[in-house]
Amino acid sequence: MEKKTIPDNKISNDKGAAGCKSCGECCRGGAPTLLKQDAELFKSGVLKQSDVYTIRENEPVISKKDNSIYESIELIRIKEKPGTSECMFYDSEKGCAIYDNRPVQCVQYECWDQSGVLHEGLESSRLTRDDLFAESDEIIEIIRHHEDRCSYKNIKDAVYMLGVGEEAAVDELINILQYDTYSRPYIEENFSINPDMLELILGRPLIKTIETFGIQASQDGDNYMLSRIEEEPKQ
């Protein structure tokens, strides 16, 4: 997935022709998923909780390898710059802004050796919201309530029912979208949470991610409209 290094020729490595050329392509192609060891980066202040977001359990994710869609396990990832796949810490002139303390995946990534070492054991080595908020029963409770109501499994089930003509599925999908949308400002105001942390606590807004199910949602006040995304005809 991701990695890194800086375009700084003063940084050498002894891997010869197979070593990192500090081209930055991996930093521009995606930000790293965090592992349990990376929890230290929050304690030391290298990372803030507003620098990361959660990919939730069963969330459809588009593979960078072949554009296929797969269901993820819960992962915490550094944010990308808006509208790009470039890691928020990457600077085209200076390289990685946190290079000396970059996440484990960035340290280990070697684009010339895609043997899968980064992905082995990810299920047990990944950082999760339970790890980050282990000392905050309040936030864990918020996450549980949100998952109960807005899990990607619930959405997938509703989309399936919609596909077989079950009209009640429209209401179910809208109820899920409303819960996700309104719980964000509610939590921000009632628990004094930085709004930039909401994508870590609740994942990305469903009104955006529902598009991976082939459905577009739009909001007009308290009303929601759902429409199917038409596939481009194949040439």
Q: How far is the CB of 165 from ligand SF4 (least distance, A)?
A: 45
Q: How far is the CB of 134 from ligand SF4 (least distance, A)?
A: 24
**Nearest position to ligand SF4, beta carbon:** 4
What is the contact surface with ligand SF4 in residues (CB under 6 A)?
Answer: 2-5, 20-27, 31-32, 78, 87, 89-90, 96, 98, 102-103, 106, 109-111
Closest CA to 121 of 146, 104, 102, 99: 104
Q: Which residues fall within 8 angstroms of residue 221, CB to CB, at 6 or more apart?
A: none
DSSP structure string for 30-72: -PPBPBGGGHHHHHTTSS-GGGEEEEPTT-EEE-TTT--EEEP
Closer Cβ to ligand SF4, 57 or 91, answer by number: 91
Q: How far is the CB of 95 from ligand SF4 (least distance, A)?
A: 7
Q: How far is the CB of 106 from ligand SF4 (least distance, A)?
A: 3
Closer Cβ to ligand SF4, 10 or 234, answer by number: 10
Q: How far is the CB of 162 from ligand SF4 (least distance, A)?
A: 38
Closer Cβ to ligand SF4, 2 or 147, answer by number: 2
Side chain identity at residue 29, one-letter code = G
Q: How far is the CB of 39 from ligand SF4 (least distance, A)?
A: 15
DSSP structure string for 188-223: HHHTT--GGGHHHHS-S-HHHHGGGGTEEEEEETTE
d(CA 75, CA 127): 7
Closer Cβ to ligand SF4, 87 or 155, answer by number: 87
Burial of 129 (0-12, 13-18, 19+ CB in 10 A): buried
Q: How far is the CB of 114 from ligand SF4 (least distance, A)?
A: 10
* 219 neighbors 181 (Cβ within 8 angstroms): yes
Beta-bridge partners for 219: 224
Closer Cβ to ligand SF4, 27 or 210, answer by number: 27
What is the CA angle 188-209-183, rounded to 5? 25
| SS3 at position 139 | helix
